[in-house]
Chains A and B, each alone.
Chain A
């Protein structure tokens, strides 16, 4: 469904991505792993329209596409939860869930841009309930929530809108054990609805637990692709570092 072909991205003289290519199929959970600076986040931002590739292209639903803005990617059904962007903390939970896609009042007032706040509130309540996220009142400001609750809101927001592809960039960072389980469970539910999921994470046990396939990036290149069931954490670590655990341990000593 989504396929990157020879995608490169340069920032000035720095090459962040070099001829990256991989595929994500519908209803498939693909892990994208790599060390800091391997190009994971750059890759995410190209797929979600934040950055434009310097070379290569993306096929989406069989069509070559390049998003000029996040808006176009969203319209195509691609939702992203960024690790470093987050939510508008001054706004309420429901305002965040509907941000950029607010429901308007019917009739003339709606044409003038007036919002259907009570409609959005009850829809947000129903959505979070359906997904199984426990939150205090959806009218609460996001800034007043805990880290885990905020992450839940960000994911709830994306799940409500993702039609084709959900990208999660480090969704389990800063979360407690119970909250991590909640997030991993949500990923499974999204996949069951036929939506493709890309999981970007440093935490290999989480990646091993929920993905179908794993793509390993190192220094801006795809160095390995594995079917999760047929590989081991040690193998992934080896691919990420470009050396085996024993070699690294010997080096550190």
Chain B
């Protein structure tokens, strides 16, 4: 899910370092709203509804903040989203004091973990559906075409009458919303709101997108590629656990994968140019 968000942003030639932090913060805010409402004797449905809205709103606002910082104040995406990573992670700990948000109604975990048709769970199905929708939208719609055009040549896009700034804001908002949706799914799976969720996830997301063939220079990338990239990383990480490598090595390996993938890309580019 985070990889979908990152795919959109990277195709514009930007980067969103705050996806993991948004996942964490929106999950926590959603959980807090839900727990507060249900303990205050509101109906469960209202609580669930409000929790989801609160989480999505969190993602929307942070995405909007990223987009406006980048387009209005001309902060580079790297710095703007790095700042947002700090802000969102900090707020997550301020709100929780570093302690899990517990006392969520059990129905959350039940929904999140119920297995049907042998392998499918609600988070898996939701992710797949959103992936298909995002993929179709990116590759078949005007929104997607403009996203690629901006990443390929922002000045040409502006010359062609595309409202580049407004479009970039939309992309970062969408990235925030997708990250928030991922936050909700994680809470559903765990049954609690953990302030540690999402940390370092931007690393995985960027790795998945880059392995999936997207260029960090913009203009190139597919949702399907990113899904395959995420699967490859998942397989590698699982494989490491199976063969008994300490889990602390995971981020090391993923970091190496990003470096190698970008290096190979850069080589390909130079060859093309020559």
A-to-B contact residues, CB < 8 Å: 48, 50, 69-71, 74-75, 80, 82, 84-91, 95, 99-102, 104, 112-115, 117
Contacts and interface: CB of A to CB of B under 8 A. Distances in A.
Contact of A85 (B141, B149, B155): B155
Given A71-B163, A86-B153, A88-B157, 8 more contacts: A70-B159, A70-B160, A86-B155, A99-B145, A100-B160, A101-B160, A101-B161, A114-B141
- Binding site secondary structure of chain A: loop
Nearest to B11: A90
B72 interface: no
Which interface class (under 10, 10 to 19, 20 to 34, 35 or more) fits B?
Answer: 20 to 34
B148 interface: yes
Contact of B142 (A71, A75, A91, A113): A113
Contacts of B145: 91, 95, 99, 102, 115
Contacts of A104: 142
Nearest to B158: A70
B149 A88 contact: yes
Nearest to A154: B156
Interface in B111-136: 136
A158 B183 CA distance: 46
Given A74-B161, A99-B149, A100-B162, A88 B142 contact: no
Contacts of B149: 88, 91, 95, 99
A88 B156 contact: yes
B219 interface: yes
Nearest to A86: B156
Interface string B237-264: 0000000000000000000000000000
Nearest to A81: B159
Contacts of A91: 145, 148-149, 152, 219
A89 B219 contact: yes
22 contacts: A69-B161, A70-B158, A70-B161, A71-B161, A75-B161, A84-B155, A85-B156, A86-B153, A87-B156, A88-B148, A88-B219, A89-B152, A90-B148, A90-B151, A91-B148, A91-B149, A91-B152, A99-B156, A99-B160, A101-B161, A113-B142, A115-B141
Nearest to A99: B160
A84 B155 CA distance: 9
A71 B15 CA distance: 27
B141 A112 contact: yes
Most chain B CB within 10 A, of A84, A104, A115, is at: A115
Nearest to B140: A114
A72 to B, nearest CB: 9
B220 interface: yes
Most chain B CB within 10 A, of A48, A80, A84, A113, is at: A113
Contacts of A99: 145, 149, 156-157, 160, 162
Contact of A80 (B137, B159, B163): B159
A86 B143 CA distance: 21
B138 to A, nearest CB: 11
A102 B142 contact: yes
A211 to B, nearest CB: 24
Contacts of B151: 90
Contacts of A100: 146, 157, 160-162
A246 B218 CA distance: 51
A71 B142 CA distance: 16
A87 B151 CA distance: 12
A88 to B, nearest CB: 4
A113 B137 contact: yes
A85 B148 contact: no
A236 B30 CA distance: 71
Contacts of A102: 142, 145
